[in-house]
Amino acid sequence: MARSSSGIVAGLTAAALAVIGFLGYQASASAPAHPPKAAAQAPAPAPADPGTAKADPGKPVAVPAGSGTGVRVVYSVGAKRVWLVGAADQEPKSFAVMPSTVHPAPGSYTVGSRSGTVTGSDGVPIEHVVRFATAEGIAIGFSARVDNTVPAPDTTKKTGGIRMTRADGDAMWAFATISSKVVVVP
């Protein structure tokens, strides 16, 4: 009888550990939160932005003329920059981004879908995906690589991820919810 009970106990213990391991994996795979600051890697530098290299870093970069009015995300393909334009009494947040190989046409769009964490079309883990357009059959959206790097895209592939640092991705995620307005300018 002792042998039979110890086999059952061992089986139940193994099953419980497997369930705990699976639930832990599920929680870590779906949680877009960053590791604590002490354990976090140094952030990668933001992509170079030739349009603001000569600008005073203490002064905000002006929102492009002709980008509309009201609360919106403004994305300038040519300047490789995004503005999160909130209420009239708030200073817009602006940051450099790295466009992908497929670009949306200039115009007004709305955020149609979001994903906390997924694998990007380039095969790397990404988070805070905010999709707003389709071009050439490719979904276009903002995202941050989980490894916090912002490399130039592989020009041999058609991808639509507009990449930014994780900190900027956090700001985009909080600002651009479903149905938010996104204005693309040249």
User: Do 78 and 25 share a structural domain?
Assistant: no
Q: Does residue 64 sit within a domain?
A: no
Backbone angles phi, psi at 46, to 5 degrees: -65, 155
Taking only the tens place, the pLDDT of each residue in 55-107 is 555 567 899 999 999 999 999 999 999 999 998 888 999 999 999 999 999 99
The pTM is what? 0.70
Distance CA 3, CA 5 (A): 6
Q: Does residue 45 sit within a domain?
A: no
Q: Does residue 78 sit within a domain?
A: yes
Q: Does residue 17 sit within a domain?
A: yes
Burial 14-38 (b: 16+ CB within 10 A, else e): eeeeeeeeeeeeeeeeeebebeeee
Q: How confident is the model at residue 9 (pLDDT cuts 50, 70, 90)?
A: low
User: Do 15 and 88 share a structural domain?
Assistant: no
Number of domains forming the structure of the chain: 2
Q: Taking a C-beta distance cutoff of 8 angstroms, is the pair 81, 184 a contact? A: no
User: Do 136 and 83 share a structural domain?
Assistant: yes
Distance CA 149, CA 125 (A): 11
Q: Does residue 158 sit within a domain?
A: yes
Range of the domain at 23: 1-29
DSSP 5: H
Q: Does residue 63 sit within a domain?
A: no
**Per-residue model confidence (pLDDT) at position 60:** 79
| Section 122-128 average pLDDT | 94
Q: Does residue 138 sit within a domain?
A: yes
CATH code of the domain containing 101: 2.40.440.10
Lowest mean pLDDT among 43-47, 61-65, 113-117: 43-47
User: Do 88 and 13 share a structural domain?
Assistant: no
